[in-house]
Structure 1
Amino acid sequence: MVEGERSLVGSVQTNMRILKPTRKKPRLGDVFVLQMPDDKYSFGRVVSTSAMVGGRIQSQLIYVFEIRSASKDLPARSELRSDHLLVPPMMTNLLPWSRGYLETIAHLPFEPGEVLSQHCFYDSFFQKYVDELGNDLPGPVEPVGELGLQSFRTIDDAVSAGLGIPLVPEG
């Protein structure tokens, strides 16, 4: 597939375009891009590489920010702050990078204000709130993410909804 084409992997279609597949594992502080059908790039950040889904599945905790651009150039650092999230934090595996949906463009050590002081996810099975390690929280702490391992497809749906782009029908 040519970089920037709308993705159709197997029978799974997404709004996100395939950029640059890699087997290189993301690192804490990595900045990545994803591209939607309007040709603009959205920016994200790897906030943890040791988040736990269900107390046993290690995952990457990522942020996706409101900032968008026609280029992959690193935006101003102020745009990569935790108060500029497009969607709540998400936990995912390495597949979005190995399939090319997320492309790492830079690595930045964290500065104050760039990471939420408390991550919160709603566990719909047990109907409770937990942090990124599965520890119980007394109640919701905004922004509340959905507990679970998010696939490139569910990341695509969340970002599409956040941007007002019609979701790709399940098929």
Structure 2
Amino acid sequence: MDNKKQMTDELLPIKSSRKKPKVGDVFVIQPRKSLYFYGKVIKTDIQAINPFLKGKNTVLIYKKVTSELKVPDNLNVNTLLIPPQIVDFGGWTKGFFFTVGNLELTNEEINLDYGFKDTRMATECYRSEEGDELNHKPSIIGIYAVGSYGSVAYKVTKALEKHPELLDV
């Protein structure tokens, strides 16, 4: 990988906020200077069985890249960069997730077939963010755990290593 595309597994801070995210909030993350990827909040205040996940948020990170801090025309769930993530508020309070606006959830986002693999179980088990066991293997699978901006950064870095063309903006 040449120096221009050299990645670290950290996000660059943009601007911190104490404002809690709302469903539909579109935010950006910055894995490299002036290179932003869009994210969207699809669930807030999760009422999870697992106390570690209670009150957290589910976010999507898209392959859509920008160099501007503005709301995109659209976001397509068929172009996710990483699987859905359950995250705490640290990304916003520390300035790594910067909200640029709000877009109503699309039908595709509402009906997205996603779930989270429960790695604590000996047999294959998939759950909703609330902790309910799913009766099928979802088409998009995250890990059933609370993450942070650091875990999002790591997963984004790994995804960009597989798709370096996304860094050519």
- Structure 1 and Structure 2 fold alike (TM over 0.5): yes
Q: Answer yes or no: is the 8 Å Cα contact 1:34–1:42 preserved in 2.
A: yes
Matched position secondary structure for 1:135: coil
Q: Residue type of the partner of 1:65?
A: Y
In the TM superposition, structure 1's runs of 4+ consecutive aligned residues that sit over 4 Å from their partners are none
Give, in whole Å, the separation in 1 of the partners of 2:10 and 2:49.
Answer: 28
Q: In the alignment, what sits opposite 2:139?
A: 142
The total of aligned residue pairs comes to: 151
Q: CA deviation at 1:53?
A: 5.1
Q: CA deviation at 1:108?
A: 1.5
Q: CA deviation at 1:51?
A: 2.6
Matched position secondary structure for 1:91: strand
Q: Among all aligned residue pairs of Structure 1 and Structure 2, give the percentage whose two residues are the same amino acid.
A: 24
Q: Answer yes or no: is the 8 Å Cα contact 2:17–2:95 preserved in 1.
A: yes
Q: CA deviation at 1:14?
A: 4.9
Q: Residue type of the partner of 2:58?
A: L
Range with greater deviation from structure 2 (106-115 or 96-105): 106-115
Q: In the alignment, what sits opposite 1:155?
A: 152
Give, in whole Å, the separation in 2 of the partners of 1:65 and 1:50.
Answer: 22
**Corresponding residue to 2:77 among 62, 75, 82:** 82
Q: CA deviation at 1:100?
A: 0.3
Give, in whole Å, the separation in 2 of the partners of 1:119 and 1:75.
Answer: 23
Matched, 1:62 2:65: no
Superposition RMSD in Å = 1.8
Going by fraction, where is strand more abundant, 1 or 2?
1
Judging changes above 3 Å, is the alpha-carbon distance between structure 1 residues 115 and 66 closer, same or farther for their aligned structure 2 residues?
Answer: farther
Consecutive unaligned residues in structure 2, runs of 5 or more: 1-7, 163-169
Judging changes above 3 Å, is the alpha-carbon distance between structure 1 residues 61 and 147 closer, same or farther for their aligned structure 2 residues?
Answer: same
Q: CA deviation at 1:104?
A: 0.4
Q: In the alignment, what sits opposite 2:161?
A: 164
Q: In the alignment, what sits opposite 2:17?
A: 22
More relative contact order, 1 or 2 (CA 8 Å, 6+ apart): 2
